[in-house]
Copies of this chain bind each other. A is one copy, B any other.
Amino acid sequence: MAKVAILGFGVVGSGVAEVLARNGAHIGQKLHSNVELKYILDRRDFPDSPFSPRIIHDFDLIERDPEVEVVVETIGGAGAAKEFTLRALAAGKSVVTSNKELVAKHGYDLMKLAQEHNVSYLYEASVGGGIPIIRPLKQCLAANEITEICGILNGTTNYILTRMIRAGLSFDAALKEAQENGYAEADPTADVAGHDACRKICILASLAFGRHIYPEQVPTEGIDRVSLADVAYADACGRKIKLLGRAILEEDGKIQAFVAPHLIGGEVPLAGVEDVFNAIAVKGNAIGDVMFYGRGAGKLPTASAVVADVMDAVGRRDRPKFMDWGPGSKDVTADIRTLATRWYVRVRGEAGRALPERLDVERFLARSGAPTGETAFITKAPLTRGALDNALEGLEILSAFRVLED
């Protein structure tokens, strides 16, 4: 018998309670041991919930109860969530989390504390919702050197981009629709500005490359500057614009990690990932390309990833714990200013005639209903952002997005 406490009875926390109740028999059979939910910590009462007898308001009860073996942290943020995680680990309890901010900011320290107390700190649900990605990535890692990770890591922005493409909505209209459907928060900044994707690529890159990569080391652009015009130009040439989180192992061993909108070819598997779905493509030196796809958020998918981690924590109770990655440092990451790629560019003015003298253009793009007074094109040779800006000096750049090579 393993007893569990949930911290935070919000969307994911209540989903975890539900999955434990609904699939309890199944879980007991798979684990050869039952899992029982003992406490739910929340500031609020939930008098109408079937789980109300388990609601408590004082973390001390959990911390001091030797029966509680696993603490599920679904509070979010790096405040109370961090304090309770530290105290739970120090009290010799494993912690399972869906909190990407905490893992991205403090994952190394929390794993180290867990190791010192011979318990687990597990975070499968922090990336890709229900998609099994953390454990498969460890499995890929077993026999591969990972060379690149590239993912559509945020469902909200992918939904907005899909609606812009499919329904011709402006960014603002698509965002409003996403909010009405419950896919975007009232304050959508973390999603739209790319912070959420940034935290997730930090976690994936730290795991894949073995050193903690912090959010402030990852240049991050959101989709707020993607216009309907850009989406239309992409569509007209059979391509899509997607917000990607990427981490690339460079030849000198540094990691180029960043979040930005990209132009991607229609035949690339990531191009078919629509609506609120997420997908993570991994490249390994033996395995080649693999991709993991599914709902990147949602109550039950995320809860199912949390519960799988709870079972894992119980199953590895008596085994030695290893660190998933080492400490970070400034020199782990590369300088984004050195990254040369092809670019999709939209500039003001009829620059078409003059451009070939300044830089090699692979193709000019057309779209139906394009206004006069703008020019869109894809560059031929890979360029750094600096070289692009130099070549276009004097022109007003309306949009410039990197091209993802197949």
- State the Cβ distance, A311 to closest chain B Cβ, in Å: 5
Interface residues of A in 261-306 (CB under 8 A from B): 267, 269, 271-274, 284-295, 298, 300-301, 303-306
Which chain B residues lie closer than 8 Å to A304 at the CB level? 140, 143-144, 284, 286-287
In contact, A130 and B27 (Cβ under 8 angstroms): no
Given contacts A132-B136, A145-B23, whether A300 and B288 have CB atoms under 8 Å apart is yes
List residues of chain B with CB within 8 A of the CB of A305: 143, 287
Question: In chain A, residues 1-57, which have Cβ atoms closer than 8 Å to a Cβ of chain B?
Answer: 15, 19, 22-23, 26-27, 30-32
Specify which chain B residues have a CB less than 8 angstroms from the CB of A311 in the assembled complex: 142-143
A131 touches B290 (CB 8 A): yes
Tell me, yes or no, whether A135 is within 8 Å of chain B by CB.
yes
A372 at interface (Cβ–Cβ under 8 A)?
Answer: no
- Asked whether B301 lies within 8 Å of A287 as measured between CB atoms, the reply is yes
Which chain B residue shows the least CB distance to A31? B142
Complex interface bits, A88-126 against B, C-beta within 8 A gives 1, otherwise 0: 000000000000000000000000000000000000100
A208 CB → nearest B CB, Å: 12
Q: Is the CB of A286 within 8 A of B303?
A: yes
Q: Taking CB as reference atom, which chain B residue is nearest A306?
A: B143
Number of A interface residues at 8 Å Cβ cutoff, please give it. Answer: 53
A361 at the interface (CB under 8 A from B): no
Bound together, the chains give a CA A143 to CA B310 distance in angstroms of 10
Closest residue of chain B to A284 (Cβ to Cβ) is B304
Q: A300 CA to B284 CA in the complex, in Å? A: 10
Is A383 interfacial (CB-CB < 8 Å)? no
Task: Tell me, rounded to whole Å, the shortest Cβ–Cβ distance linking A65 to chain B.
Answer: 24
User: B308 contacts A143, CB within 8 Å?
Assistant: yes
Name the one of B26, B139, B293, B303 contacting A308, with C-beta atoms under 8 angstroms. B139
Residues of chain B contacted by A359 (CB below 8 angstroms)? none
Please indicate the chain B residues that have their CB under 8 angstroms from the CB of A31 in the complex: 142
Interface bits A192-226 vs B (CB < 8 Å: 1, else 0) = 00000000000000000000000000000000000
Q: Are B307 and A142 in contact (CB under 8 A)?
A: yes
A319 proximity list for chain B (CB < 8 A): 319
Per the bound structure, the CA–CA distance linking A135 and B290 in Å amounts to 15
Distance of A154 Cα from B131 Cα, bound (Å): 23
Please state if A135 and B141 are interface contacts (CB–CB under 8 Å).
no
B143 and A132: CB pair below 8 A? Answer: no
Chain B residues contacting A285 (CB-CB under 8 Å) are 22-23
Q: In the bound complex, what is the Cα–Cα distance between A322 and B32 (angstroms)? A: 9
Alpha-carbon distance A322/B293, docked complex (angstroms) = 29
Q: What B residues does A27 contact at CB under 8 A?
A: 142-143
Q: Which residues of B contact A269 (CB under 8 A)?
A: 272-273, 293
Q: Please determine whether A23 and B144 come into contact, CB atoms closer than 8 angstroms.
A: yes
What are the residues of chain B within 8 A of A295 when measuring CB–CB? 287-290
Q: Report the Cα distance A136→B312, complex, angstroms.
A: 13
* B residues in contact with A135, CB < 8 Å: 135-136, 139
Known: A132-B139, A311-B143. A290 touches B286 (CB 8 A): no
A222 → chain B closest CB, angstroms: 25
Residues from chain B with Cβ under 8 Å of A308 in the complex: 139-140, 142-143
Q: For the complex, give the distance between the alpha carbons of A141 and B135 in Å.
A: 14
A-B contact pairs, 21 of them (CB 8 A): A23-B143, A26-B145, A27-B143, A30-B142, A31-B142, A130-B284, A130-B288, A139-B308, A140-B304, A140-B308, A142-B307, A267-B274, A272-B272, A286-B307, A287-B294, A287-B305, A288-B294, A289-B295, A290-B292, A291-B294, A292-B293
The 5 closest A-B pairs by CB, nearest first: A290-B294, A143-B307, A286-B304, A291-B293, A132-B136
